């Protein structure tokens, strides 16, 4: 079913968007990493202009992060103090990223910059993930156990202004989480990703947080970074398309829950190698599409008002006439979907435990 996106001004297949978003969501739930670095390239391959793909995937990440963070809030597995310090750096990094985005958009090079960023990031992540997963498989096959140092000290650990984080039981420089947040916010603004693939290992290996607090705190940080990215993209460029966001959120939330369930019952070492290969393939595909493929100028299309559905007309008019209200609405829309998904999941989980769990003998 072809759907016209009134803001991006392109036709897309609703089934393809929802299905791909669900598949990426499964991978996210299975491996505990955000799917933005996969979904944004997929949107570009489906014909969504890169600048719009970045903005709408950021809004989608906001919804899924709210959903996941709400679950961790209910489980009390969040370090709010550490999260807010990372958010401070994330806010600064996001603003710097938006200025960078605006500069390259102004000179007409933003599509190339986004493609290059994804090409290099996917190549690096895919290679590191492949090496790590092959190492895990080899160690499991040889049944060997290699002891690692709990903490490795870098220059960042010698920074001043140390403070206590009672929840994580750490005594850390305030600059450590701020610098990490700065980097995450910058790439989130340019690439439309949550930054979990950087934030999660940084929180474990650099900050030294307890593993059980990392996923929830990472999602908590992603909420604030995604809010800023969504608002600035919607206000500055009018690039948030609520119809596209709705399709992305439906697929990704279903996929994430499915992936988390699957991940509880299987060994993901072999699958992680397959994911790494997939990332490398997508990176190669982006490189080919950027430098070698012959591009046909059939992107955005103009559709007369009489051909638009009432919903498309409303979204288009809302975006043009009230940009600030539209920007805020896109944020609340994603947050509402995320919270609703979290409570529906909790309700269904309680219902299943009540009516379908076997009674203890």
Residue 238 belongs to domain spanning: 2-290+297-355
Kindly state whether residue 226 falls inside one of the protein's structural domains: yes
pLDDT mean for each 10 residues of the chain (361 residues): 85 90 78 70 87 87 79 79 92 92 89 85 80 74 57 64 88 89 88 75 82 83 87 86 90 78 62 75 80 57 64 86 88 85 77 66 48
Classify residue 360: in a domain, yes or no. Answer: no
Q: What's the rounded Cα separation, in Å, for the pair 319 and 31?
A: 36
Collapse the DSSP code of 193 into the 3-class scheme (helix H, G, I; strand E, B; otherwise coil) and give the result: coil
Domain count, the chain: 1
In angstroms, what CA-CA distances link 62 with 39, 59, 67, 85, 134?
14, 5, 9, 19, 32
Q: What is the pLDDT of residue 91?
A: 92
Distance CA 353, CA 140 (A): 35
Q: Is 361 among the domain residues? A: no
Residues 6+ away with beta carbon under 8 Å from 84:
none
pLDDT at 297: 45
66 contacts: CB under 8 Å, gap ≥ 6: 223, 334, 335, 337, 338, 339, 342
State if pTM tops 0.75.
Answer: yes
Task: Give the integer Cα–Cα distance in Å for 166 and 361.
Answer: 41
- Domain membership of residue 58 (yes or no) is yes
Return the residue matching tokens 């595909």.
285
Pick the closest to residue 177 from 213, 153, 203, 197 (CA basis).
203
List pLDDT tens digits, range 94-140.
999 999 998 998 898 888 888 888 888 888 877 877 887 777 777 76
């Amino acid at each position: 079913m072809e759907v016209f996106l009134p803001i991006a001004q392109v036709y897309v297949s609703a089934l393809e968007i929802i299905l791909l978003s669900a598949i990426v969501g499964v991978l996210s739930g299975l491996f505990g990493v955000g799917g933005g670095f996969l979904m944004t390239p997929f949107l570009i391959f489906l014909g969504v202009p890169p600048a719009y793909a970045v903005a709408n995937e950021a809004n989608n990440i906001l919804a899924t992060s709210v959903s996941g963070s709400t679950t961790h809030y209910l489980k009390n597995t969040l370090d709010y103090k550490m999260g807010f310090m990372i958010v401070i750096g994330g806010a600064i990094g996001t603003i710097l990223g938006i200025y960078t985005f605006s500069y390259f958009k102004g000179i007409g090079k933003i599509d190339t910059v986004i493609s290059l960023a994804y090409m290099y990031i996917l190549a690096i992540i895919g290679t590191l993930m492949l090496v790590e997963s092959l190492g895990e498989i080899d160690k499991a096959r040889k049944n060997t156990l290699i002891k690692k140092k709990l903490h490795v000290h870098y220059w960042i650990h010698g920074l001043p202004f140390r403070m206590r984080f009672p929840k994580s039981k750490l005594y850390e420089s305030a600059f450590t989480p701020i610098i990490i947040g700065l980097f995450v916010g910058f790439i989130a603004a340019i690439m439309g990703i949550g930054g979990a693939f950087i934030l999660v290992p940084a929180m474990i290996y650099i900050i030294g947080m307890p593993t059980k607090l990392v996923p929830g705190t990472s999602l908590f940080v992603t909420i604030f970074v995604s809010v800023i990215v969504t608002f600035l993209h919607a206000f500055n460029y009018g690039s948030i398309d609520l119809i596209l966001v709705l399709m992305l959120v439906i697929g990704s939330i279903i996929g994430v829950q499915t992936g988390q369930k699957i991940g509880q019952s299987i060994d993901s070492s072999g699958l992680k190698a397959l994911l790494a290969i997939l990332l490398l393939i997508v990176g190669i595909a982006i490189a080919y599409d950027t430098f070698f493929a012959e591009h046909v100028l059939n992107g955005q299309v103009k559709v007369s008002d009489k051909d638009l559905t009432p919903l498309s007309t409303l979204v288009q008019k809302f975006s043009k006439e009230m940009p600030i209200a539209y920007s805020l609405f896109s944020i609340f829309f994603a947050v509402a979907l995320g919270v609703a998904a979290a409570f529906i999941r909790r309700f269904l989980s309680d219902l299943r435990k009540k009516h379908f769990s076997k009674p203890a003998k």
